[in-house]
Amino acid sequence: MKTLKKSLVLLFIGLMSFSYAQDINEAGTAFNDGNEAYKAKKYAEAVKYYKSSIDMCQMIGGDAADLQMKVESQLVNASYKNALTLYKKKQFDAAVEELKNTITVAEAADNTKIAKKSQAYIPKVYSSQGMALLKEKKYDDALVAFEKALSYKEACVNAYYGQGLAYKGKSNFDEATLSFKNAIKYGKGNSKAAKNVAKAQSAGQKMLEAAGAKELQLEHTQKAIGYLNGSIEFGNPTVNTYYYLASAYNKQNEFDNAITAAKSGIALGGDVSNLQFELGKAFEGKGSSTDACSAYKSVTSGPNVEAAKFQMKEVLKCN
């Protein structure tokens, strides 16, 4: 009887040893399969294999601890690469989810480098998603994406620039102006952000110049003045900016401001006949006939040539 019991115990131990060996071998096989998939750049498959291997290691316990550490280390790399692959394929939501997963496994594996890189990539993904939505003119959806980007990085220049474009598309010029200014503010001095800073400056300037010109046509001169001065704040104003501004000031009888605007535009060079005409009107409004005649004489092209001649000959009696 004792012999039978001893035999049964040995059989049980043997079966346990066989089962253990089989389990750890399966975990190792899953790990190797993951490595092969990783080498082939099939990162999603690699992630599945690594996760399967980890599950088996956890069931085995302490004896599989060394293997589990190796698998967890590789899982971090595979998950990160998989997230970037999804991003390149413009599968933005899936990419964000995988980046979040990467942060979790990276922190568990004490890989702070990959965890930080993954965290930094999330606002980039949301900004790219917003830009893609802008191309489809889905401005509200784009704004949601940009807000998500900013929730992860308050100083995200790309998101502020895209946000400005979205608000511009909705003709919300005040919010667009604020967004473009934030892009400039947070990108100032950052060489990596220089391109989008320049884009924000140009977009803001052109947007407000166009808005000012439109309001001027509608005889909303005060509103036009606000937009045009805002355009100048973005830098690189054009001759047209100052022409519209001088015209608006003349309509408001703010002749000194009109003169300043006209002279600023004339200093830029090029075809400034329209500005000379507005300068003449401003001087005429101030009662400075000599200066008005001089300005009108410089109107040599454009639609105001005949009007300038009339003012010189019939009104001011210029010499």
Specify the pLDDT at position 22.
62
The helix (run of H) or strand (run of E) holding residue 265 is helix 255-266
Distance CA 146, CA 180 (A): 13
Q: Are residues 230 and 195 in contact, defined by beta-carbon separation less than 8 angstroms?
A: no
Q: Are 167 and 175 in contact (CB under 8 A)?
A: yes
Is the separation of the CB atoms in 31 and 57 below 8 Å?
no
pLDDT by position in tens, the chain (length 319): 445 444 433 333 343 444 445 678 899 899 999 999 999 999 999 999 999 999 999 988 887 899 999 999 999 999 999 999 999 999 999 999 999 999 999 999 999 999 999 999 999 999 999 999 999 999 999 999 999 999 999 999 999 999 999 999 999 999 999 999 999 999 999 999 999 999 999 999 999 999 999 999 999 999 999 999 999 999 999 999 999 999 999 999 999 999 999 999 999 999 999 999 999 999 999 999 999 999 999 999 999 999 999 999 989 999 8
Residue 147 to residues 43, 127, 144, 153, 185: CA-CA distances in angstroms? 30, 9, 5, 10, 17
Nearest residue to 35 (alpha-carbon basis) of 24, 27, 23, 43: 43
Collapsing DSSP to helix, strand or coil, 111 comes out as coil
Q: Looking at the whole model, is its pTM more than 0.75?
A: yes
Q: Which class for 318: exposed (0-12), middle (13-18), buried (19 or more C-beta within 10 A)?
A: middle
The residue written with tokens 């965290």 in the block is: 119
- Contact assessment for residue 229 and residue 210, using Cβ atoms and an 8 Å cutoff: no
- Residue ranges of domains in the chain, CATH in brackets: 16-110 (1.25.40), 113-219 (1.25.40.10)
Looking up tokens 């040893």 gives: 17
pLDDT score at 11 = 35
The C-alpha atoms of residue 225 and residue 206 are separated, in whole angstroms, by 15
Q: How many CA atoms lie within 13 Å of 144's alpha carbon, on the beta-carbon side?
A: 5
Taking the C-alpha atoms of residue 207 and residue 116, their distance in angstroms, rounded to an integer, is 37
